[in-house]
Structure 1
Amino acid sequence: MSCPDCGGDLVSFPVPDDLQQLLPGNEPGAGVCRSCLALHPETEPPAAVPDLSDLDGAIPDADGAAVPLVLLVGLLDSLAMHREEITALLERVEREGVDPLLVLDRLDASYGEAAHVDLGRRRRQLEQLL
């Protein structure tokens, strides 16, 4: 499947039940674009979470952190609309022992202007939320 925003390849994954409430819509999964990191709903995700660490090596392969991190990055397009969800995802990632701001730095260095949002600017705004 390809990204409707940039045409890049999407990596689909199931969203755990406890995280689905943090996403808009009712789809059981999501897809992240390998090219721009945009997040899209997925109606028929695979049964298991694929290795998301291949997104330029920035997403850790920690079992409990990869999916919340990808969801977090996908919701960064609107901090105002998704503030509560982003805060919950930040807390979840930190509980898993991963520094979400460091991950955003790495993604910004890897994707730069190709990302669907300005990750450097969003990182600074997230620091204010924390």
Structure 2
Amino acid sequence: MTCPDCDAPLVAFAVPEDLAAHVPYDAEAVALCTRCLGLFEVRPPVDVPDFSRVSEEFPEGEAGVAMAVGVSLLDSLALHRARIEALFSRVEEAGYDPLLIVDRLARQGSIQPRMDLDRRRTQLEQLLE
């Protein structure tokens, strides 16, 4: 599968029931673009996601799902504030630092996100305090 926006590979994953309310689609599965960090609805079934295809810094498992959805929502902090807070809280509960991951994604040359991750990182820091 490739991204319909930038033609980069996608990482598809199932949406766990407890995270479904935070996903902007009513879908059983979605996919994160490895380049633009866009989120797209896909058809199940999907394999176990390999989030290292996005970044070696990305968590695996359910924390990876929460991080993937949270990062994809950063294009509109005002619209998705509650979702981002809930998702990044889940990432923190799993023992990861979502702000550090956003920092590292911003510095990773292979990622060309739709939004300015450096600016979003500063705004996130204020939002999540």
Give me the TM-score of the superposition, normalised by structure 2. Answer: 0.90
Does structure 2 retain, via aligned residues, the 8 Å contact 1:10–1:33? yes
* Aligned position for 1:82: 80
Opposite residue 75 of structure 2, the aligned amino acid is: D
SS of the residue corresponding to residue 115 of structure 1 reads: coil
- Kindly provide the amino acid, as one letter, of the partner of residue 57 in structure 2: A
Report what 2:90 is aligned to. Answer: 92
| Structure 1 residues 47-86: aligned runs within 5 Å | 48-61=47-60, 63-86=61-84
Q: Distance in 2 between matches of 1:117 and 1:38?
A: 10
SS in 2 for 1:11: strand
Letter in 2 for 1:35: R
Q: Give the whole-Å Cα distance in 1 for the aligned partners of 2:36 and 2:104.
A: 14
Unaligned runs of 5+ in 1: none
Instruction: For residues 23-69 of structure 1, give each alpha carbon's deviation from its aligned partner in whole angstroms, at most 9, with x where no partner exists.
Output: 122111110111211111123241x43221232312023x3311100
Deviates further, 112-121 or 75-84: 112-121
Paired residue type of 2:30: A
Counterpart CA distance in 1 for 2:111 and 2:79 is 23
What is the correspondence of 1:21-60 to structure 2 with a 5 Å cutoff? 21-46=21-46, 48-60=47-59
Query: 1:53 is matched by which residue type in structure 2?
Result: S
Q: Is the 8 A contact 2:11 2:50 kept in 1?
A: no
Distance change in 2, residues 1:45/1:123 (3 Å): farther
CA–CA distance in 2 between the matches of 1:70 and 1:57? 13
Relative to its length, the structure with more helix (as a share) is 2
Residue matched to 2:13: 13
Instruction: Report the TM-score when normalising by structure 1.
Output: 0.90
Query: Kindly tell me: are residues 21 and 50 of structure 1, through their superposed partners in 2, closer, same or farther at Cα, counting changes over 3 Å?
Result: same
Task: Please report how far the alpha carbon of residue 103 of structure 1 lies from its aligned counterpart in structure 2 after TM superposition.
Answer: 0.3
User: Does the residue aligned with 2:107 lie in a helix, a strand or coil?
Assistant: helix
Shift of 1:12: 0.9
Which structure 2 segments of 5+ residues have no match? none
SS of the aligned residue for 2:32 comes to strand
RMSD of equivalent CA atoms: 1.6
Equivalent residue of 1:87, what SS? helix
